[in-house]
């Protein structure tokens, strides 16, 4: 069966028949994904396979496959659509690593470090082109949906880069950026799976809305794990966001809730405003954050998004795929205890 451990799911969360369908679908996706990144030029193939071969959760393809269970999961467009969303996701990772000056991705040297920024950017562009080639066979509605999703991905990245305006609520701004940068492609994954499997319009709408909400919830869980985890459960060393200067929800909540007259809060704000590439300062900031009310506030926000995602599923028929999606919503919240 597909490895759903990274999402907090256990074997008992999946019906045996559904697990078999997903396993077959994942194998087809992997084969087509590797075929799709081939080029006539060996170096282009090598650079494009760099992140494909590094693995990853394949969350977006799995969302396509699960959503397709509400129609005909064997419909011809389902597997290509799953590959499209993964290629799109991988392309954004190549670009993100350049913008973030990252050195590692999925346990391997990032493409920009292994080669250079130009190769990483152009490889990302190549993957977008390959996704478009597959899309061309899925019809104009799929092409239009992908274009709108790409628009949201770019808008979210720009808004994150520019930051909140002076009159913006910083937490609302952050959540809206997550909706664009993370939620939009997962929403499109649900929509592709339902739409291309021939599910009815109501199911298409539900699975789209679920995808966006679970995407935001999953990112909020990662935000919390980066602060609260002692072992890097999120796949990153704890405090990575702090080191990179990324202000995620726990930090934004700390800034909102901090009392400058309290010595601990004053010290935390001082650390957050300073250089957290220093290991000792970062560990001190993590310790103060872990004991702060900001963590509970961030957990409540995660719970709200996870509960909302689960509730969205209510109109769907009671089939194994619905129960798996409900379990996914529950597991996303459980990831942070």
% of the chain with per-residue pLDDT over 70:
87
Regarding whether 221 and 193 lie in a shared domain, the answer is no
Regarding whether 214 and 166 lie in a shared domain, the answer is no
Q: DSSP letters along 9-66, please?
A: --GGGS-HHHHHHHHHHHHHHHHHHHHHT--SSHHHHHHHHHHHHT----HHHHHHHH
Regarding whether 128 and 92 lie in a shared domain, the answer is yes
Contact indicator for 251, 269 with CB cutoff of 8 Å: no
- Report the alpha-carbon distance of residue 158 to residue 121 in Å, rounded: 16
Q: Based on the structure, what is the number of domains in the chain?
A: 2
Task: Tell me what pLDDT residue 234 has.
Answer: 47
Which segment of 22-31, 110-119, 245-254 scores lowest on mean pLDDT? 110-119
Q: Please report whether residue 58 resides in a domain.
A: yes
**What's the CATH code of the domain at 142?**
1.10.600.10
Look up residue 208 and give its two tokens: 């789209």
% of the chain with per-residue pLDDT over 90:
64
**55: pLDDT strictly greater than 60:** yes
More confident residue, 223 or 11: 223
Going by pLDDT thresholds of 50, 70 and 90, the confidence category of residue 308 is very high
Task: Tell me what pLDDT residue 41 has.
Answer: 80
- Report the alpha-carbon distance of residue 289 to residue 268 in Å, rounded: 8
**259: pLDDT strictly greater than 70:** yes
Q: Please report whether residue 22 resides in a domain.
A: yes
Q: What is the maximum span of the chain, computed from C-alpha positions, in angstroms?
A: 64
Tens of pLDDT, residues 143-198 = 999 999 999 999 999 999 899 888 899 999 999 999 999 999 999 999 999 999 99
Q: Tell me which range, 14-18, 29-33, 194-198, is most confidently predicted by mean pLDDT.
A: 194-198
- Report the alpha-carbon distance of residue 252 to residue 166 in Å, rounded: 15
User: In angstroms, what CA-CA distances link 57 with 123, 237, 298?
Assistant: 21, 17, 24
Regarding whether 207 and 174 lie in a shared domain, the answer is no
Regarding whether 52 and 142 lie in a shared domain, the answer is yes
Regarding whether 217 and 194 lie in a shared domain, the answer is no
Residue of 160, 199, 196, 163 lying closest to 179 (CA atoms): 160
Contact indicator for 164, 170 with CB cutoff of 8 Å: yes
Q: What are phi and psi of 238, to 5 degrees?
A: -50, 140
Going by pLDDT thresholds of 50, 70 and 90, the confidence category of residue 42 is confident
Regarding whether 155 and 221 lie in a shared domain, the answer is no
Q: Please report whether residue 322 resides in a domain.
A: no
Task: Tell me what pLDDT residue 3 has.
Answer: 55
Name 105's bridge partners. Answer: 108
Task: Tell me what pLDDT residue 288 has.
Answer: 95
Q: Which domain holds residue 144?
A: 15-179+189-199
Regarding whether 144 and 20 lie in a shared domain, the answer is yes
Regarding whether 248 and 133 lie in a shared domain, the answer is no
Task: Tell me what pLDDT residue 40 has.
Answer: 84
């Amino acid at each position: 069966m597909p490895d759903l451990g990274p999402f907090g799911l256990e074997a008992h969360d999946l019906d045996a028949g559904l697990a078999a369908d997903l396993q077959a679908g994942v194998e087809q996706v992997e084969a087509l994904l590797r075929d799709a990144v081939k080029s006539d030029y060996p170096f282009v193939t090598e650079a494009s396979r760099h992140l494909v071969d590094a693995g990853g959760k394949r969350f977006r393809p799995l969302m396509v496959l699960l959503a397709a269970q509400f129609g005909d999961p064997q419909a011809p467009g389902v597997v290509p659509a799953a590959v499209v969303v993964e290629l799109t996701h991988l392309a954004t990772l190549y670009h993100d690593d350049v913008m973030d000056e990252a050195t590692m991705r999925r346990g391997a040297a990032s493409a920009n470090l292994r080669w250079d920024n130009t190769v990483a950017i152009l490889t990302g562009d190549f993957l977008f082109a390959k996704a478009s080639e597959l899309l061309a066979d899925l019809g104009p509605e799929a092409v239009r949906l992908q274009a709108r999703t790409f628009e949201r991905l770019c808008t979210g990245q720009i808004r994150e880069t520019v930051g909140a305006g002076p009159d913006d609520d910083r937490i609302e701004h952050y959540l809206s950026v997550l909706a664009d940068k993370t939620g939009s492609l997962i929403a499109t994954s649900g929509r592709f799976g339902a739409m291309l499997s021939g599910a009815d319009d109501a199911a298409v709408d539900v699975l789209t809305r679920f995808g966006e909400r679970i995407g935001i919830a999953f990112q909020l869980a990662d935000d919390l794990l980066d602060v609260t985890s002692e072992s890097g459960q999120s796949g990153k060393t704890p405090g990575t966001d702090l080191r990179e200067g990324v202000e995620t929800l726990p930090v934004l909540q700390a800034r909102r809730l901090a009392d400058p007259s309290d010595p601990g809060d004053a010290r935390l704000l001082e650390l957050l405003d300073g250089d957290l590439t220093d290991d000792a300062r970062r560990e001190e900031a993590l310790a103060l954050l872990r004991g702060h009310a900001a963590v509970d506030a961030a957990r409540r926000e995660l719970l709200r998004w996870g509960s909302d995602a689960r509730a969205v599923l209510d109109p769907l028929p009671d089939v194994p795929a619905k129960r798996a999606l409900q379990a996914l919503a529950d597991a996303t919240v459980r990831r942070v205890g």
